[in-house]
Amino acid sequence: MDKEKNRGYGQLMSRRIFALSVLFSVWALIAFGRAWYIAGPARARFIAAGEKMARRQVVIPAVRGRILDADGVCLVWSERFYDLLSLVPEGFELSDEELAELRTVLPELPDEGRVLRRNLTPDELLRLEAPLKSGVRARIVSRDERIAVAIPEIRQAVGELRFRDGSWSGASGWEAEFDAELSGSPGSLTVMLDRHRNWIPSSVRVVNKPVPGRNVRLKHTLCELTKQSDAGENSDAKQ
């Protein structure tokens, strides 16, 4: 009896081991086939899909044209500045370790706020490369600022801008009057982000190059424009 019982138990275990071996072999075959498929025929498709998920499209603002007087003196122009922005969600702050890393370059960095530093110098831009690549949740962004000569009459005549559809457009004054010439056309690029949401420079691809705006030359000189303004004020005063 014991021999028959042991024999039956041994056969049962053999069948179970065989079944497990078959299941493991089938699983290994499927896994190997899947790995071969991903690494072989479907490799390009999976790489493209992963790149599409990690790639972002960014608008490249066009450089706005300058406004010149009749003699070619520049009255209004654009300058590019670089700011350091925090990437942490609203209501949260950078960690002490991240702040300490940034303060090796910018000692007077504030403890909180989205805009950490405006108008970075070229030296600061270069020195910030290492902290940002180490995983600090911050990013350098560029912005174009419109600048007019320091004459009240001219600044009033220039008017204001508004940001719309990825670019600046004139809202009043000369900026609105000559907007079609000054605006240009924004471009676009795509870039992949690393796990810290920083740009991977080697992945940048320009889709459309921005077309800079054209310069506008006024019919009057700076001297004549200021005289016209003075004459208008005197006329209003007489009335």
pLDDT single digits (tens) 101-128? 999 999 988 877 888 999 999 999 999 9
Predicted local confidence at residue 236, as pLDDT? 38
Inside any domain, residue 49? no
Residue 50 lies in a domain: no
Q: In the chain, which stretches have pLDDT less than 70?
A: 1-12, 33-34, 36-54, 165-166, 196-197, 228-239
Residues 81 and 21 in one domain: no
The predicted pLDDT at position 21 comes to 76
Strand partners, 232: none
20, 61: one domain: no
| 64 and 15 co-located in one domain | no
Identify whether the C-beta of residue 118 lies closer than 8 Å to the C-beta of residue 91: no
Q: Is 45 exposed, middle or buried (0-12, 13-18, 19+ CB in 10 A)?
A: exposed
Same domain, 76 and 140: yes
- At 141 the pLDDT is 87
What pLDDT is recorded for position 45? Answer: 59
Nearest to 58 by CA among 159, 155, 139, 176: 139
Whether residue 199 lies inside any domain: the answer is yes
Q: Please indicate, yes or no, whether residues 25 and 134 belong to a single structural domain of this protein.
A: no
pLDDT the model gives residue 238: 32
Give the tokens for residue 35.
């790995």
Claim to verify: residue 224 and residue 184 sit in the same structural domain: yes
Question: 145 lies in which domain range?
Answer: 56-234
CA–CA separation, 131 and 231 (whole Å): 57
Question: What does the pLDDT read at residue 215?
Answer: 96
| Residue 239, domain member (yes or no) | no
- Whether residue 36 sits in one domain with residue 101: no
Q: Is residue 27 part of a domain?
A: yes
Structurally, the chain folds into a number of domains equal to 2
pLDDT at 87: 86
Q: Are residues 107 and 11 in the same domain?
A: no
Question: What pLDDT does 90 receive?
Answer: 78
Q: Per the domain annotation, does 135 fall within a domain?
A: yes
- Whether 68 is in a domain gets the answer yes
46 is a domain residue: no
Q: How many CB atoms lie within 10 A of CB 115?
A: 11
Comparing CA positions, the residue from 102, 109, 110 lying closest to residue 128 is 102
